[in-house]
Chain A
Amino acid sequence: DAGVTQSPTHLIKTRGQQVTLRCSPKSGHDTVSWYQQALGQGPQFIFQYYEEEERQRGNFPDRFSGHQFPNYSSELNVNALLLGDSALYLCASSPLGTTLLYEQYFGPGTRLTVT
Chain B
Amino acid sequence: TQLLEQSPQFLSIQEGENLTVYCNSSSVFSSLQWYRQEPGEGPVLLVTVVTGGEVKKLKRLTFQFGDARKDSSLHITAAQPGDTGLYLCAGAREYGNKLVFGAGTILRVKS
Contact = CB atoms under 8 A, between A and B. Distances in A.
Nearest to A105: B45
A94 B98 contact: no
Contact of B96 (A55, A88, A108): A55
Nearest to A100: B48
Contact of B40 (A35, A40, A48, A111): A111
Interface residues of B, number: 26
A94 B88 CA distance: 18
Contacts, number: 71
Interface residues of A, number: 29
A33 B41 contact: no
A71 interface: no
A108 B101 contact: no
A45 B100 contact: yes
A108 B42 contact: yes
A102 B93 CA distance: 9
Given A58-B98, A102-B48, 13 more contacts: A35-B99, A41-B103, A42-B88, A42-B101, A56-B95, A56-B96, A102-B33, A102-B50, A102-B97, A106-B43, A106-B45, A108-B41, A109-B41
Interface of A: 4, 31, 33, 35, 40-45, 48, 55-56, 58, 88, 90, 92, 94, 96, 101-109, 111
24 contacts: A33-B97, A40-B103, A41-B103, A42-B88, A42-B90, A42-B103, A43-B43, A43-B99, A45-B98, A45-B100, A56-B95, A56-B98, A90-B43, A92-B99, A96-B97, A102-B33, A103-B48, A103-B97, A104-B33, A104-B45, A104-B97, A106-B35, A107-B42, A108-B42
